[in-house]
Structure formats: structure tokens, C-alpha cells
Amino acid sequence: MIFDVDKETLPREDLEALQLRRLKYLVERTYANVPFYRNKLDESGVKPADIRKLSDVRLLPFTEKQDLRNNYPFGLFAVPKENVVRIHASSGTTGRATVVGYTARDVDNWAQLMARSFMAAGATSQDIVHNAYGYGLFTGGLGAHYGAERLGATIVPISGGSTKRQVMLLKDFGATVICCTPSYALYLFEAAQEAGIDFASLPLRVGIFGAEPWTEEMRKEIESKLQIKAIDIYGLSEIMGPGVAIECVEAQSGLHIQEDHFLAEIIDPDTGEQLPPGSTGELVLTTLTKEAQPLLRYRTRDITSLDCVPCRCGRTFARMRRVKGRSDDMLIIRGVNVFPSQIESILLETEGLAPHYQLVIRREGALDMLEINVEVNEKLFSDEIKNLQRLEAKIQKNIKEFLGVTAKIKLVEPKSIQRSEGKAKRIIDQRNI
């Protein structure tokens, strides 16, 4: 089912005409109201009137995370502060937090896009939604909350944490849809096992998972353990929050970008040049309708590709491939580039391993060393040492063969890697650089 049929199935020609209208107005608004953008446009000699066709987006300057930090907290607002009804911010583990503002209409659009997302994932007003994304400055909790309400579903605003209690309420309330990070879904599964609750016996049927990179192999693992459909949802606070793109349950093949609200491009992260359709590169997003804090050509750092081929679900919105990782999370081990997701794929295809791992990077002398700590399952844990050693050697060989990097593999006890209630911490960089 499609929530906004008239929008989500617009013929591409009409969609592009709508995007162009919105883009022109956006550039006018930002030029008139945000000194940062006026200066940037003046510097690059571009006037709002220069935007005549959609491809003219290329003329516009990029916006980077650092620009948000430099204008901390409210320097990029395009409306008077009294029109801002909500603030969110990213956690800011590195440097200052990035702040985002919303007008009432922004919040309303977001709810609408999240309602669309829920329906694309196969949810309806009949569902009970267990929302374990964190409530607060993080956009996950409130984003999913307003969307589920707009859909008319019943929302359980459990937020993150208190895992044992979550499992109990999941069962008692009979949730049919769950929203959380994919890593937390696995943690909940373990907690349920410990509490003697069988996920397969619960009415839960759909999981809407995002906020961190995950792989097809991880999807299979979650779908088979929890006995649900696992749907990938993408978003980022700078642009809106969750709901920028979502997979449809019909195809589960790429995430439909809500293109009436966001203009997507793929660029070469090194040169900044737009890449031809279908290429893999960095996703750049322009907010077409955001009022409080519109962004021109925001560099997401997320690596993906776009596919405009019509989807069998009937939606005409382009699909972005599952995010491979962030360009800033890409590891360079002795000159070889690897994304953590590529390592995850290999680990999860190996029998006997649990989907819990951490990548530790160390500097030994002048060289970078990658150590992969991965949990084995209970069955393997009780196995003979020589079998475990054989398995370590096999994983090491596969990683070398498929990814070209040498890694030290350390099989660790079940449940010894710290579980996370939100985004999993997969990379521990001890290089101090």
C-alpha cells in the first residue's frame, strides 16, 4: 500500500518539474535569508536566477558538516527564531554537535514522510509500533513517533535502554512492528532468549532498522532469528532525521528516496564531480522543502548509488542502494581501502560466528594493524581449540582473498563484546592520529 499515492507514484517528468520549482524557490529563500549561503553563492558567482534546469544544481556550492559546526548553534536558520518549534542535534562525539531546527511545517512534513515510510515497510493503522529508537535530541525516537501517529498506528514510546523490560513489554503489548537499530534488534533477541521468550511466538512481523550501516547478511540473520521482515530505513539529522529513504516491503531492493522533498546526487568524494547514473559514490542531498534550516548540496559522506528504474511496488522515486559505509569510516589498512560492512559480510557468511564484532586498529611501528574480534556461538565455543584455530585461519584467508587486507582474527566468547542500545560501536581506533 502507498500512503501518498499521488506523490509517490508521480511520473518522473512531473516529479522533476516539481523538484525544479522547489529548487528555484529554495535557492531564492536561502540567498535572501541565510548570510552563509548568500556569501557562498556570491563567492561562486551564482545568482538564484541562474537555476533554470534541474542539472543546474551543479552550480551550487556544497554544504559540509563543518559548515554547520562553524555556524553553531543557529547560524544557518532561514526563518526568525520564533518560527522554529523544534531543535534536534547529533551526538557530536567528535567536535561540536550539529544542530537542526524545524518549523511547524517541517515537523508536519517529517511526520508525513515517516508515515509514508511505515506504510512502505508494510505497516498500517492496525499495527502496534514498539519504538526503541532513542527519544531526545537524536532524531530517531521522535521521528518514528510522529510518523506512526500520522499513520494512525498505536505507538509504544519505549525509547532505548532497559532491555529486559523492553522484551517484556514487547510481548505483553503484542507489538507487530519494531523500530530500532539493527544491532539493538539482535541484543533484544538475546535478552528474550535469556528471559525464555521465543521471538517466533510473538506477533511481531516487521522491523524498521537503520541509523547505522548493516549488510544483507545481517538482514538474513535478523529475519531468520526474529522471524520478521527487516526493512532498511535511512536518514540523517542534518537533512531531517529518519525517513529520507526507505525500502519497500514488496521489493526490499534499495531504499526509495522521498524525492519530492530531497534532491539526490552522487559525487566523486575526491573531486566533487557529479557521477553518471548508477555509479557508486558519495550521496549529496538538497532539502527542497525544509523551511527552518534548508541545506544546499549537503555532503552526507555516505557511500551508495542511485537507481531510477521503476520499482515493482509502483513507486517512481529513485532507490539508493544500501549504504556501504561512510567515507570517514573507511579503513585504510596498509594502503588497502576497506569498509567495515565488507568485513561484516564475510564474518556473517562464516558458520559458527555470532553477528557481534569489533574492529580494532593499532599502529605497530609505522604500520597499521587490523584486529577483528568476533564472537563465536555457544556450540562452537565448547569446541576443541584446534578447531577454533582452524576457523581463525579460514576467516583470515577469506578476508585476505576477498578484501586484500591481512587481519588478525580473535575469536571471543559469546556475549563478550559490548552490546549497544543505539548505534553499535564497531571500530576502535587506537592509532591516536
Of 22 and 65, nearer to ligand DLL (C-beta) is 65
Least distance (Å) between residue 344 CB and ligand DLL: 12
Least distance (Å) between residue 30 CB and ligand DLL: 21
Least distance (Å) between residue 237 CB and ligand DLL: 4
Of 41 and 238, nearer to ligand DLL (C-beta) is 238
Contacting residues toward ligand DLL, per CB under 6 A: 90, 133, 139-140, 210-213, 232-237, 241-242, 300, 302, 323, 326
Of 340 and 399, nearer to ligand DLL (C-beta) is 340
Sign, CA dihedral 408-413-415-418, equals: negative
Least distance (Å) between residue 235 CB and ligand DLL: 4
Classify burial at 396, counting beta carbons within 10 Å of its beta carbon; exposed 0-12, middle 13-18, buried 19 or more. Answer: middle
Of 323 and 395, nearer to ligand DLL (C-beta) is 323
Of 101 and 210, nearer to ligand DLL (C-beta) is 210
Of 211 and 353, nearer to ligand DLL (C-beta) is 211
Of 121 and 313, nearer to ligand DLL (C-beta) is 121
Of 207 and 409, nearer to ligand DLL (C-beta) is 207
Q: How many CB atoms lie within 10 A of CB 388?
A: 15
Of the candidates 235, 233, 238, the one whose C-alpha atom is nearest the C-alpha of residue 255 is 233
**Residue for cell digits 507487530?**
176
At position 228, the amino acid (one-letter code) is I
Kindly give, in sequence order, each residue whose CB lies less than 8 Å from that of residue 245, ignoring residues fewer than 6 positions away: 233, 234, 235, 255, 256, 257, 258, 319, 320
Least distance (Å) between residue 211 CB and ligand DLL: 3
d(C-alpha 287, C-alpha 204), whole Å: 34
Q: Are 77 and 292 in contact (CB under 8 A)?
A: yes
d(C-alpha 259, C-alpha 285), whole Å: 10
Kindly give, in sequence order, each residue whose CB lies less than 8 Å from that of residue 144, ignoring residues fewer than 6 positions away: 114, 129, 131, 133, 155, 179, 208, 242
Least distance (Å) between residue 181 CB and ligand DLL: 7
Q: How many CB atoms lie within 10 A of CB 301?
A: 19
d(C-alpha 102, C-alpha 295), whole Å: 12
> How is residue 241 written as a grid cell?
532525521
Of 179 and 417, nearer to ligand DLL (C-beta) is 179
Least distance (Å) between residue 206 CB and ligand DLL: 14
Among left, alpha and beta (phi > 0; psi -120 to 50; other), residue 161 is left
Least distance (Å) between residue 88 CB and ligand DLL: 9
Least distance (Å) between residue 421 CB and ligand DLL: 13
At position 152, the amino acid (one-letter code) is G
